[in-house]
């Protein structure tokens, strides 16, 4: 079957037009007008991802993070450009689903909420047509540091950053969560009654502002978005069975998390 048929089914679930303004989504490298045998789902497109895709004879990569995120200045022989050269050389198409999978109901932020048993959910930051990024909701009351331990365990982290002066350990019953780098939405988390905001890449001064304004936070890192891989693979395998596709759907096993902690 053609790559375009796979993507048509995906976009029926998660349309590109859900994406935030200026975001990168859709086909970024190659063509969807080709017959394919194997699709691989990945979070990032790095050297290890491309090596794996070549070795496993993948025809189509579906990823969350665009390999080309900033305008290219040249196509010289550089380590970064070699990633693009290898994809093109081996005819591997790359399709990106970024903020649209964060926003879509039943998408990444709802999957996070499922893992953390969040109920009575609402949108954190509205975008358009009653959709929006991030979620706010209720949890069974937990001390803040117990919640931090739960987040660490659920997302299989080697560490987690707490945005707290550690002077108190209050009981938490309402949280907000946004995958990726969501610190810019913290005032909306406050406005919707969240006591704790869970998001990645929180800056030092932003963390201080959060605390001054009465909001605790947990920074589990950007890489928790790797949940995208397993959950999307589940969906594609379900659609494959329903529609009798003759295509293999696999999860990337490449480690693209640039951070670890001693």
Binding-site residue ranges? 65, 102, 222, 225
Asked whether the beta carbons of 189 and 215 are under 8 A apart, the reply is yes
Asked whether the beta carbons of 176 and 194 are under 8 A apart, the reply is yes
Asked whether the beta carbons of 28 and 95 are under 8 A apart, the reply is yes
DSSP codes of every residue in 56-67: TT-SEEEESS-S
Q: Give the residue from 146, 136, 142 showing the smallest Cα distance to 193.
A: 136
Annotated binding site for a divalent metal cation: 65, 102, 222, 225
In a 10 Å sphere around its CB, with 0-12 CB exposed, 13-18 middle and 19+ buried, how is residue 204 labelled? exposed
Q: Give the residue from 73, 61, 199 showing the smallest Cα distance to 134.
A: 199
Sign of CA dihedral 210, 226, 102, 115: negative
DSSP-derived secondary structure letter, 177: E
């Amino acid at each position: 079957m053609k790559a375009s048929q796979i993507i048509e089914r995906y976009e029926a679930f998660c349309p590109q037009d859900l994406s935030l303004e200026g975001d990168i989504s859709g086909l970024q490298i190659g063509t969807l007008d080709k017959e394919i045998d194997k699709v691989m789902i990945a979070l990032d497109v790095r050297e290890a991802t491309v090596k794996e895709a070549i070795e496993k004879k993948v025809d189509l990569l579906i990823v969350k993070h665009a390999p080309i995120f900033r305008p290219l200045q040249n196509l010289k022989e550089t380590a970064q450009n070699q990633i693009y050269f290898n994809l093109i050389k081996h005819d591997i198409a790359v399709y990106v689903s970024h903020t649209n999978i964060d926003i879509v109901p039943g998408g990444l932020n709802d999957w996070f909420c499922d893992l953390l048993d969040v109920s009575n959910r609402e949108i954190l930051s509205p975008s358009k047509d009653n959709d929006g990024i991030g979620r706010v909701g209720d949890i069974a009351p937990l001390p803040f540091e117990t919640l931090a331990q739960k987040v660490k365990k659920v997302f299989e982290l080697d560490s987690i950053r707490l945005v707290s002066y550690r002077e108190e350990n209050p009981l938490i019953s309402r949280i907000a969560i946004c995958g990726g780098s969501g610190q810019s939405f913290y005032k909306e988390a406050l406005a919707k009654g969240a006591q704790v905001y869970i998001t990645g890449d929180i800056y030092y001064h932003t963390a201080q502002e959060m605390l001054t304004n009465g909001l605790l936070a947990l920074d589990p890192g950007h890489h928790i978005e790797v949940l995208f891989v397993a959950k999307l693979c589940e969906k594609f395998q379900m659609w494959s069975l329903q529609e009798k596709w003759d295509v293999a759907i696999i999860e990337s096993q490449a480690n693209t998390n640039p951070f670890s902690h001693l």
